[in-house]
Amino acid sequence: MLEWTEKMSVGSEALDEDHKRLISMLKELNTALKAGSPAETIRDIMVELAAYTDYHFAAEERVLRMARYEGLDEHIEAHNKWRERLSELQTTLEGKADRRSALKLSDFLSDWLIRHILGDDQKFKPAIEALVNRRKAGSGNDGNQSTPES
């Protein structure tokens, strides 16, 4: 089920809020597809989802660089695979594909996001916590004022 739970927390309020927003947007997309909403409505949701995905991935990757996360390259690759599937869904929706195909892709993206947050994203939680602790101790100032909590 596509619901946020506390076990999804990655140790950054800002990233957690992004994840909640992405989950909400995917729920909105799934609901619109199941309800047979007009193509324009679905297209608008997709445009917003794609834009927010780009924003979130850039923010998350920036925080992971600040945290010196060793798995960053693999994490970026996972994000790139999501982008490919999201693009595939957009192409499917723009074409004459049936809603069932689009819903299957949307369900895949929903499942992927939950697995990604509970799996891949949890791997960087210790790095985020270490970054927060360094900043609290005053030894983590790298000249970048953005923090994982903001």
What tens digit of pLDDT does each residue of 63-91 get?
999 999 999 999 999 999 999 988 888 88
CA dihedral over 120, 8, 124, 47, signed as positive or negative: positive
Asked if residues 19 and 117 have their Cβ atoms less than 8 Å apart, the reply is: yes
CATH number of the structural domain 12-133:
1.20.120.50
Confidence at residue 103, expressed as pLDDT on a 0 to 100 scale: 84
Confidence at residue 116, expressed as pLDDT on a 0 to 100 scale: 95
Mean pLDDT of 13-33: 95
Confidence at residue 97, expressed as pLDDT on a 0 to 100 scale: 61
Calpha distance 89→100 (Å, rounded): 12
Confidence at residue 143, expressed as pLDDT on a 0 to 100 scale: 46
Confidence at residue 50, expressed as pLDDT on a 0 to 100 scale: 92
The pTM is what?
0.85
Confidence at residue 105, expressed as pLDDT on a 0 to 100 scale: 80
Question: For residue range 109-148, what is the model confidence (pLDDT) as tens digits?
Answer: 899 999 999 999 999 999 999 998 988 888 545 545 455 6
Asked if residues 10 and 125 have their Cβ atoms less than 8 Å apart, the reply is: yes
Confidence at residue 145, expressed as pLDDT on a 0 to 100 scale: 47
Calpha distance 68→22 (Å, rounded): 25
The most confident of the ranges 28-37, 58-67, 129-138 is 58-67
Extents of the domains making up the chain: 12-133
Calpha distance 87→98 (Å, rounded): 16
pLDDT at 7 over 90: yes
